[in-house]
Amino acid sequence: MDRSGGGTASSAARAKAVARPSWWDLYEVVGKIGEGTYGLVYLVRVKDKAQGYKLAIKKFKPSKDGDGVSPTAIREIMLLRECCHENIVKLVNVHINHADASLYLAFDYAEYDLYEIIRFHREKLQYAISPYTVKSLMWQILNGLHYLHSNWIIHRDLKPSNILVMREGDEAGVVKLGDFGLARIYQAPLKPLSDNGVVVTVWYRSPDLLLGAKHYTPAVDVWAVGCIFAELLTLKPLFQGVEDKGMHNPFQIDQIDKIFKVLGPPSVDTWPGLAHLPYWQHNRQSIQNKKYDHPLLPSMTAHFAKTAAYDLLTKMFEYDPAKRLTAEQALKHEYFRQEPLPGKNSFVSGYPGEKVVVYPSRPVDTSLDMGSNEPTPVGNTANPASGQQRRFQQQGGDQSGSGQGGTTTGSRLGPGGSGRRSDGRSQGQGPSKMQRR
């Protein structure tokens, strides 16, 4: 027996080596790019692929109940294994660490997300995103959403941080819908979807969800995309309610107040189902005691009022979900048939001589210990940007945590499958002159 303690140290080293799954040897870890309540996200390079081929690997913590793997991870795997479309994030591989029952999902890596693109324009460039880029991003978001809804899938967590954009190669400027942890099949639910708990980050939550609808529809995703559209046009969230963290149901009085101030209040005449929503009934006095005489939307969107973009936006913000535009109908809207036409590469110039914006790369933290079950990052040299790395949270990019921010789950990762036509256009109902730029 080694009385110096060397035997203990070597035993610990052997235990650490055994605990690390052998599949980690397939990858060269660059660093950490995300963290949340679900676990961590690593940026890696594949050793046996072409030089520079990158993946994002999302590690899920074991189930809180201690009964195995995370149900969120299982949902993502089940849905993404079946999805094959160029505007849907592509699940490349699934790994498991049997030592602690943690799952690892590998996705192609996407350098950008809309949260960071919008923030870069708002805080650094201080000018609007080009009309061509906005239109191309929106067309691809709706194209991916139409694919999901056509296959009976509701996403239920659409927000800028979950809309990824590729940077390099043939897929440069291509949008990928990510983070399917809250997604559900809705064709024949065994129980009301509201039983799944609170869904959609509060700033992007539709009024029907906020007011307690039990059997909601894909219209909740269209409302969220409308919020994203407004944010792309104005560079700030349209409905910035303060979330009451003590509430364990979807109702948020401040968020409802913000929506009614911008759009004006709904009525039973225009939305017959309103009278049957539980939180409308329970909170009618506190809601209706307030006056909403002058909706703010016209003044907040004055620079594109009376345009096709404004018309599309208002139709996505229809209070009655039965009247709200579907993703398929939105793709056919006049907005997408006007110049500049949308293109596959959202980053190229829409007009001759227009400046192409170069967006900063995603921060990668290479300075932290990756844990006993993971390899050490290559070089283990602190990235200059890591000190400024965004705080990755389940909700909230602002200090209150109420709204945007980064759920870095299946998001921030990368590209979708082969849902591409031979002429370069995406599958879906797009403009007949869709350009492959």
Strands of 27-36's sheet in order across: 27-36, 39-46, 54-60, 102-108, 91-97
Q: Label residue 184 exposed, middle or buried (CB < 10 Å: 0-12, 13-18, 19+).
A: middle
Partner residues linked to 41 by β-bridges: 34, 58
Q: What is the CA 399 to chain-centroid distance, rounded?
A: 19
Rounded Cα distance between 116 and 160, Å, is 8
- Residue 65 designated active-site: no
- At a CB cut-off of 8 Å and minimum separation 6, what does 249 contact? 198, 212, 279
Residue 90, annotated as binding a ligand: no
Q: What is the DSSP string of 236-271?
A: S-S--PPP-TT--SS--HHHHHHHHHHH----TTT-
Rounded Cα distance between 361 and 171, Å, is 16
Cis (ω within 30 of 0) for the bond into 218?
Answer: no
DSSP 3-state percent helix, strand, coil across the chain (nearest 5): 35, 15, 55
Q: What is the CA 192 to chain-centroid distance, rounded?
A: 24
172 touches 412 (CB < 8 A): no
Catalytic residue among 2, 25, 100, 157: 157
Task: List the catalytic residues.
Answer: 157
Which residues line the annotated binding site?
A: 59
Q: Which residues are annotated as a binding site for ATP?
A: 59
